[in-house]
């Protein structure tokens, strides 16, 4: 049995597994990913993974958390995300056997460990970024940010519109009232027929309807809160537009705006399987319940510096939070910004697409120490570029002038080959196209695990690449 701070765990001896007859080490290449991860896990601080078990005295000794961490990291690296498939691979795949040996966890153990320790993987993410920095894979010459829609674990068939919810709530309340009215004579009849035996068919029907009523009522409250938030945002947008017209002396064109409504539209929907996910428009696939997965990527070797999942369908409000998360990761990893000849740390170049643009976001990034570069709108094909004014007056005009300059064009062109291939590597090469977990907090943890293993693959590949002659 292995021990950690006095707690006994099931034995984990990967060195012994490698030297057994028909061992993985004899069959797998010397520089295989699994051996890289076995070495890397030993360098990680896993105290947060051990902490929940240290005071637990009940039951059999648990699996060594270091082994479980290594197993999950390897599985996500090679595109095996389902706990059942991971458990099956532990019986049939040499690389998985090199990690677990004969002590093979079942799928529930793997699933429970992942769910319990999602937050603990934050420390592992930071540690891997630190290793990447020490290896020279992070230089902060251009940090590109983008988002991608990732389908959630929620079916469109489990969604309900606000208008239908109101009808369903009324129907359920009528049925509950009818069941309660029937309960009293039913209880008397059951007592006479069953005596001391249970006869709870009617209460079960009542409980089922009450549970459904509670879910629908909660979904209605969420839609109402969302409608109020959207109404407030629309009022703010109109106020900003009016202020801009007043500043520039322009007059408002078009029809008068409709009054802002704070109640949900009858067609507004909420999903009862994962109510925290909104329905979003996806590329070539219509509409799905998705999370908006964000990533901030360094240009040198495509190391992800920060990641998040939001329920916002666009990226307009995500520039500042992702920038703050990037700085937090760098600080926790002990990585300093590169300095110029005078010893000062210049602003970090940051490239984003036009979906992130707002004057407030541009100013926020500058205040955080970034030098943002992004298009202020879509440039239509085969149309001449707008002529830059001699003295840009607004933040939007200054940003547009920066992107039109040759240096700005070159910097913005690099964004597409920095961050967008990362999503391709995750979705196409590894096959992670939808979340397995439910709830926004768990989605953030699962996306962090995906991004963490992306960075580990970069470390392994650059470390395994032959040096130039």
* CATH label of the domain that carries residue 395: 3.30.420.10
Q: Provide the pLDDT for residue 183.
A: 66
18 domain residue, yes or no: yes
Q: Are residues 212 and 175 in the same domain?
A: yes
End position of a domain, from candidates 230, 251, 271: 271
220 domain residue, yes or no: yes
278-302, pLDDT tens digit by residue? 888 887 667 888 999 999 999 999 9
When mean pLDDT is compared over 324-338, 368-382, 439-453, the highest value belongs to 439-453
Region 227-238: mean pLDDT is: 86
Q: Are residues 266 and 280 in the same domain?
A: no
308 domain residue, yes or no: yes
264 domain residue, yes or no: yes
Coil vs helix vs strand at 67: helix
Does residue 467 register a pLDDT over 50? no
Q: Are residues 342 and 431 in the same domain?
A: yes
Coil vs helix vs strand at 172: helix
Q: Provide the pLDDT for residue 469.
A: 35
Region 37-45: mean pLDDT is: 93
Q: Are residues 98 and 228 in the same domain?
A: no
5 or 415, greater pLDDT: 415
Q: Are residues 441 and 360 in the same domain?
A: yes
What is the β-pairing status of strands 2-4 and 7-9? antiparallel
142 domain residue, yes or no: yes
Band of pLDDT at residue 243, cut at 50, 70 and 90: confident
Band of pLDDT at residue 373, cut at 50, 70 and 90: confident
Band of pLDDT at residue 468, cut at 50, 70 and 90: very low
Q: Are residues 7 and 113 in the same domain?
A: yes
When mean pLDDT is compared over 46-60, 84-98, 329-343, the highest value belongs to 84-98
Q: Are residues 133 and 163 in the same domain?
A: no
Does residue 184 register a pLDDT over 90? no
Q: What is the pTM of this model?
A: 0.80
User: How many domains, the chain?
Assistant: 3
180 domain residue, yes or no: yes
Shortest CA distance to 351 belongs to which of 303, 309, 409? 409
Mean pLDDT of the residues in the chain? 84
Q: Provide the pLDDT for residue 307.
A: 97
Q: Provide the pLDDT for residue 229.
A: 86
113 domain residue, yes or no: yes
Domain that holds residue 206: 159-271
382-412, pLDDT tens digit by residue? 445 545 555 665 566 666 677 777 776 777 7
Q: Are residues 332 and 443 in the same domain?
A: yes
CB-count burial class (<10 Å; 0-12, 13-18, 19+) for 272: middle
469 domain residue, yes or no: no
Does residue 232 register a pLDDT over 80? yes
Distance between first and last Cα of the chain:
47
What percent of the chain clears pLDDT 90, i.e. is strictly above it? 41
Spatial separation of the C-alpha atoms in residues 27 and 52, rounded to whole Å: 36
Band of pLDDT at residue 457, cut at 50, 70 and 90: very high
What is the sign, positive or negative, of the torsion defined by CA atoms of 187, 193, 198, 202?
Answer: negative
End position of a domain, from candidates 271, 298, 323: 271
Region 319-327: mean pLDDT is: 95
How distant, in Å, are the alpha carbons of 24, 88, 89, 245, 430 from that of 94?
Answer: 5, 12, 8, 67, 19
Q: Are residues 419 and 290 in the same domain?
A: yes
Does residue 98 register a pLDDT over 60? yes
Out of 44-48, 94-98, 461-465, pick the least confident.
Answer: 461-465
Does residue 134 register a pLDDT over 90? yes
Q: Are residues 107 and 149 in the same domain?
A: no
Q: Are residues 235 and 149 in the same domain?
A: no
Does residue 458 register a pLDDT over 90? yes
Q: Provide the pLDDT for residue 32.
A: 93
Measured from the Cβ of residue 217, the count of other Cβ atoms closer than 10 Å reads 13
Out of 23-27, 38-42, 112-116, 180-184, pick the least confident.
Answer: 180-184
Across 2-161, the runs of DSSP E, i.e. the strands, are: 2-4, 7-9, 143-151, 159-161
CB 309 within 8 A of CB 252: no
Band of pLDDT at residue 377, cut at 50, 70 and 90: low
Region 369-376: mean pLDDT is: 79
Alpha helices (H) along 107-200: 107-116, 121-134, 162-194
CB 266 within 8 A of CB 161: yes
Band of pLDDT at residue 378, cut at 50, 70 and 90: low
Tokens of 293: 């997965």
Spatial separation of the C-alpha atoms in residues 311 and 296, rounded to whole Å: 17
Spatial separation of the C-alpha atoms in residues 388 and 101, rounded to whole Å: 66
Band of pLDDT at residue 194, cut at 50, 70 and 90: low
Q: Are residues 179 and 150 in the same domain?
A: no
Region 109-115: mean pLDDT is: 96
End position of a domain, from candidates 66, 88, 117: 117
């Amino acid at each position: 049995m292995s021990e950690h701070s006095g707690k006994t765990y099931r034995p984990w001896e990967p060195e012994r597994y490698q030297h057994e007859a028909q061992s993985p080490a004899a069959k797998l290449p010397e520089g295989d990913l699994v051996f890289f991860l076995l070495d890397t896990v030993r360098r990680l601080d896993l105290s947060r993974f051990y902490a929940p078990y240290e005071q637990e005295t009940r039951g059999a000794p648990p699996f060594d958390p270091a082994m479980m961490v290594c197993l999950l990291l390897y599985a996500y690296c090679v595109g095996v995300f389902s706990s059942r498939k991971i458990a099956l691979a532990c019986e049939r795949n040499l690389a998985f056997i090199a990690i677990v040996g004969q002590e093979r966890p079942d799928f529930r153990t793997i699933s429970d460990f992942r769910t319990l320790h999602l937050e603990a993987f934050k420390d592992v993410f930071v540690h891997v970024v630190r290793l990447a920095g020490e290896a020279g894979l992070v230089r902060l010459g251009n940090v590109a940010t983008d988002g991608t829609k990732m389908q959630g674990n929620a079916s469109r068939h489990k969604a309900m519109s606000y208008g239908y919810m109101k009808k369903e709530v009324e129907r359920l309340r009528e049925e509950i009232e009818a069941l309660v009215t029937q309960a009293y004579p039913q209880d008397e009849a059951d007592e006479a027929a069953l005596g001391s035996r249970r006869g709870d068919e009617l209460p079960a029907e009542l409980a089922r309807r009450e549970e459904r009523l509670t879910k629908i009522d909660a979904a209605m409250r969420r839609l109402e809160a969302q409608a109020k938030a959207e109404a407030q945002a629309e009022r703010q947008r109109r106020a900003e537009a009016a202020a801009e017209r007043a500043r520039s002396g322009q007059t408002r064109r078009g029809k008068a705006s409709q009054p802002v409504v704070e109640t949900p539209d009858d067609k507004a929907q909420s999903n009862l399987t994962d109510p925290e996910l909104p329905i979003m428009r996806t590329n070539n696939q219509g509409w799905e319940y998705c999370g908006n997965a964000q990533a901030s990527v360094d240009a040198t070797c495509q190391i992800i510096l920060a990641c998040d999942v939001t329920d916002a369908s666009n990226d307009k409000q995500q520039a500042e939070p992702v920038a703050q998360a990037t700085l937090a990761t760098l600080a926790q990893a002990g990585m300093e910004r590169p300095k110029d000849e005078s010893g000062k740390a210049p602003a970090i170049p940051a490239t984003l697409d036009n979906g992130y643009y707002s004057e407030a976001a541009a100013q926020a990034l500058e205040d955080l120490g970034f030098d943002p570069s992004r298009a202020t709108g879509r440039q239509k094909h085969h149309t001449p570029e707008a002529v830059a004014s001699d003295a840009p007056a607004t933040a939007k005009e200054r940003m547009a002038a920066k992107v039109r300059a040759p240096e700005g064009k070159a910097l913005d062109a690099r964004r597409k080959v920095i961050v967008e291939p990362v999503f391709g590597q995750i979705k196409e090469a590894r096959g992670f196209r939808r979340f397995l977990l439910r709830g926004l907090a768990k989605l953030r943890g699962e996306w962090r695990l995906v991004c963490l293993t992306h960075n580990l693959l970069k470390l392994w590949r650059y470390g395994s690449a032959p040096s130039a002659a």
